[in-house]
Amino acid sequence: MNVEELVKELKAVANSDDAVAMKAYMKNKFEFLGVKTPARRKLVKAFFKQQTDCVIDWNFINEAWNNPYRELQYVALDYLEIRKKLLTPSDLPDLKKLAQTKSWWDTVDFLDRLVGSIIARFPETKATILSWSCDEDIWLRRLAIDHQLLRKEETDTELLEKILVNNLGQTEFFINKAIGWALRDYSKTNPNWVRDFIERHQAEMAALSVREGSKYISS
């Protein structure tokens, strides 16, 4: 698959006003063509049909990730989502590299689901995600904290607790917000577990984490 060809197709449906707004929303950290998600996904759906074999094209992913336009990183994530079932533990180093390159919440909060799909299917990778939860890189830690979002009854609570405890006592907004999201999401499935966790660890938790985590549970 040719990234340059894809960029031409995206430019053909781009809107310069949207580009300005999208760049501002991302705190002016990235350049945008101005292609919103519905238009992008409609376009790439046809583009991805060019690949007929059942492998993950990491050359395409890395080339898209290195492109200056943020939509190309989103395209790489769209592609990985479609081929998520092909991901194996051997892909974790490449996914880690993506998380640590051009890092911001928009890509990391998509990568957490992709990594989470590997951890769920290959229990031997739990040690890897635990190590990420202690990394000096806040984006790897955020990814680890939220990698079980939406897993409901399949949530590994022992793993969740270890990762959350590894990240208590932080002042970093993106970490404390992630802790709150992880707890809030799981509270829809098991409010008693979340209530108990907050009661045991509240002294070490940021007010933001407690507020977010408690949103759907009664006191």
Alpha helices per DSSP H over 36-104: 37-48, 58-66, 70-82, 92-99
Residue 218 clears pLDDT 80, i.e. is over it: no
What is the per-residue pLDDT across 108-154, written as a single tens digit (0 to 9) for each? Answer: 999 999 999 999 999 999 999 999 999 999 999 999 999 999 999 99
Gyration radius from the chain CA atoms: 19
Query: What pTM was estimated for this model as a whole?
Result: 0.94
In a domain, 44, yes or no: yes
In a domain, 93, yes or no: no
Average pLDDT over residues 66-80: 98
Last residue of a domain, one of 86, 120, 142: 86
CATH number at residue 59: 1.25.10.90
Q: What is the overall mean pLDDT for the chain?
A: 96
The verdict on 112 and 201 lying in the same domain is yes
Q: Between 49 and 73, whose confidence is greater?
A: 73
Domain that holds residue 69: 1-86
Residue 68 clears pLDDT 90, i.e. is over it: yes
* Residue 166 · residue 184 · CB < 8 Å: no
The verdict on 82 and 119 lying in the same domain is no
Residue 219 clears pLDDT 70, i.e. is over it: no
Report d(CA 20, CA 33) in Å as an integer. Answer: 9
